[in-house]
């Protein structure tokens, strides 16, 4: 959540001894805008340096790693000195300069009186392996596409966000709010959470074709990154996996199948390509877990997983779903066997700091879409794309593990029925409301 990240940035500024901070995230999620706004609001001066736009900046970091020397030269370069108390130093696209990335270590060790932030889109895949990454010397934050709540703010519907913020118990919202929130969610499934697409919607709310063009431009930029930054032997493999995601999610069983790429495809031949997409922040993986045992990362099966796209709006464009399906009815929730709905839930869970996603299956009998750890327990979460109240998989899970609470997420209103809690899709952010008195 961007509000949470901003609060963390403010605390970082106020700390007595601060490490340089790196804001990570996929391209186009708004890292530059976010840090510039932070600098302009919280500091008297913003010293902005972009290593992608100005390749010559790298030369200031090659001859010496002494931070005082670097600060002096940066001040001379921008024709204004850098004040350690008043200036935020912002290194953008820092992955383009391994030397600048390395300098963060020395800012931490020798010049922590300076406020230094950096942003990088491809840090996990671009940084020269010969350059030591400043592990332990920097703080990290991750920025994702707008969550649904942030989307409400972004389109001028903050009043609906406030309605959700005032909910204190699991009970149905008045239909007037429920209906409007569902309509906004349908819109979110089309527009998605990429800032440029949201800005385009605000400029021309009825011009859905232009929003699609924004998505296509973002997708083209990602594909250019494949060829520009990936190893030559992986480029085609990355593209094959990337373009396969919509059809994989459209299956009844959404487990990622390498043989769908081509019959002879084996996991070990595509592992590097898949990891590239993960490191670039373009996909999320959910691993199968044989049991709801903490820590889930310790028992999950890393070779069995689902793959989700970083943004449901981009998914709608990749899948070429007609715009009218997102505005005429709730049919899109169930379209492609619930692919958009499940991708949305994965996206929301990641945005709310569920760093690792997991799901549970039982010998082909049942499957629970997500298993969520919270306060030392695990909770099964089943995604329903329609209005059906059937919960076969949750019943199987309940009989096997007897959890304190079962969770269903669907287009239906809030409802508490015994140990089952139904969250409407738009209200997933309120979890764990209703659980153990939360």
- Domain annotation covers residue 436: no
> 258 and 393: one domain?
yes
- pLDDT of 261 reads 84
HSE-CB of 91 using CA atoms within 13 angstroms: 30
Three-state DSSP at 424 gives strand
> 16 and 136: one domain?
yes
> 212 and 129: one domain?
no
Binning the chain into helix, strand and coil, the percentages to the nearest 5 are 50, 20, 35
> 125 and 196: one domain?
no
Distance spanning both ends of the chain, measured CA to CA: 20
- Domain annotation covers residue 438: no
| Dihedral sign (CA 361, 433, 164, 282) | negative
Q: Which two tokens stand for residue 115?
A: 């406020």
- pLDDT of 126 reads 58
Distance CA 313, CA 319 (A): 10
- pLDDT of 53 reads 93
- pLDDT of 65 reads 81
Distance CA 142, CA 284 (A): 14
Total count of domains within the chain: 2
Residue where one domain finishes, among candidates 125, 142, 159: 142
- Domain annotation covers residue 108: yes
Closest CA to 26 of 125, 164, 134: 125
- pLDDT of 437 reads 52
Kind and range of the H or E run holding 25:
none
| Cβ-contact 362, 396 below 8 angstroms | yes
Length of the chain: 438
Closest CA to 340 of 369, 319, 361: 319
> 137 and 237: one domain?
no
- Domain annotation covers residue 101: yes
| Dihedral sign (CA 99, 101, 104, 105) | negative
- pLDDT of 388 reads 65
> 198 and 182: one domain?
yes
Distance CA 348, CA 354 (A): 9
Q: Residue 15 carries which DSSP code? A: -
- Domain annotation covers residue 437: no
The parent domain of residue 9 ranges over: 2-142
> 133 and 171: one domain?
no
- pLDDT of 327 reads 67
**Strand extents, DSSP E, 214-342:** 283-289, 301-309
- pLDDT of 184 reads 95
Beta strands 87-92 and 45-50: pairing type?
A: parallel
CATH code, 71: 3.40.50.300
> 134 and 172: one domain?
no
- pLDDT of 364 reads 77
> 122 and 182: one domain?
no
> 204 and 295: one domain?
yes
Residue where one domain finishes, among candidates 114, 142, 170: 142
- pLDDT of 86 reads 96
**pLDDT, tens digit only, all 438 positions of the chain:** 688 899 999 999 998 788 999 999 999 999 999 999 999 999 999 999 999 999 899 999 987 789 999 999 999 999 999 999 999 999 999 988 989 999 999 999 999 999 999 998 887 675 555 556 677 899 999 999 999 999 999 999 999 999 999 999 999 999 999 999 999 999 999 999 999 999 999 999 989 999 999 999 999 999 999 998 898 999 999 999 999 999 999 888 889 988 888 777 788 889 999 999 999 999 999 999 999 999 999 999 999 999 999 999 999 999 998 877 776 667 777 676 788 999 999 999 999 877 789 999 987 788 999 999 998 999 999 999 876 666 789 999 999 999 999 999 999 999 999 999 999 999 999 999 888 655
- Domain annotation covers residue 18: yes
- CA-to-CA dists, residue 78 to 47, 49, 104, 129, 409, angstroms: 8, 9, 20, 31, 52
Residue where one domain finishes, among candidates 116, 142, 168: 142
> 104 and 164: one domain?
no
- pLDDT of 127 reads 54
Q: Residue 255 carries which DSSP code? A: B
> 95 and 218: one domain?
no
Quote the pTM value.
0.92
Q: What angle is formed at CA 419 by the lines to CA 414 and CA 424, rounded to 5 degrees?
A: 20
């Amino acid at each position: 959540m961007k509000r949470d990240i901003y609060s963390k940035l403010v605390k970082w500024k106020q700390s007595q001894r601060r490490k340089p901070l790196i804001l990570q995230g996929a391209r186009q999620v708004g890292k530059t805008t976010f840090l510039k706004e932070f600098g302009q609001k919280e500091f008297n001066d913003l010293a902005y340096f972009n290593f992608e736009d100005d390749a010559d900046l790298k030369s200031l970091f090659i001859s010496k790693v002494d931070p005082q020397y670097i600060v002096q030269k940066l001040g001379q370069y921008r024709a204004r000195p850098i004040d350690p108390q008043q200036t935020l130093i912002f290194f953008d696209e820092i992955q383009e300069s391994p030397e600048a990335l390395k300098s963060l270590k020395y800012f931490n060790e020798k010049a922590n009186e300076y406020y230094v932030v950096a942003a990088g889109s491809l840090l996990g895949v671009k940084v020269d392996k010969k350059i030591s990454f400043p592990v332990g010397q920097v703080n990290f934050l991750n920025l994702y596409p707008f969550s649904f709540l942030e989307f409400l703010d972004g389109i001028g519907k903050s009043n609906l966000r406030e309605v959700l913020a005032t909910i204190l118990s699991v009970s149905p919202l008045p239909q007037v709010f429920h209906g409007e929130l569902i309509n906004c969610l349908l819109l979110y499934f089309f527009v998605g959470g990429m800032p440029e697409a949201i800005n385009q919607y605000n400029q021309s709310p009825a011009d859905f074709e232009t929003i699609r063009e924004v998505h296509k431009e973002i997708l083209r930029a990602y594909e250019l990154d494949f060829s520009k930054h990936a190893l030559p032997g992986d480029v085609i493999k990355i593209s094959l996996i990337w373009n396969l995601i919509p059809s994989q999610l459209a299956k009844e069983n959404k487990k990622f199948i390498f043989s769908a790429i081509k019959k002879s495809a084996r996991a070990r031949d595509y592992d590097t390509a898949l990891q590239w997409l993960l490191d670039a922040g373009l996909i999320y993986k959910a691993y199968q877990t044989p049991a709801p045992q903490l820590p889930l990362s310790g028992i999950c099966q890393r070779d069995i997983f689902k793959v989700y796209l970083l943004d449901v709006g981009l998914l709608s464009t990749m899948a070429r779903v007609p715009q009218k399906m997102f505005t005429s009815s709730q049919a899109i929730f169930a379209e492609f066997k619930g692919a958009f709905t499940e991708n949305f839930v994965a996206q929301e869970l990641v945005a709310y700091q569920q760093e690792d996603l997991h799901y549970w299956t039982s010998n082909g009998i049942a499957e629970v879409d997500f298993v969520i750890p919270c306060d030392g327990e695990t909770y099964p979460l089943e995604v329903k794309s329609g209005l059906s109240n059937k919960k076969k998989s949750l019943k199987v899970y309940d009989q096997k593990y007897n959890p304190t609470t079962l969770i269903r997420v669907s287009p239906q209103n809030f409802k508490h029925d015994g140990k089952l809690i139904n969250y409407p899709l738009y209200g997933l952010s309120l979890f764990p409301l209703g659980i153990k008195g939360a």
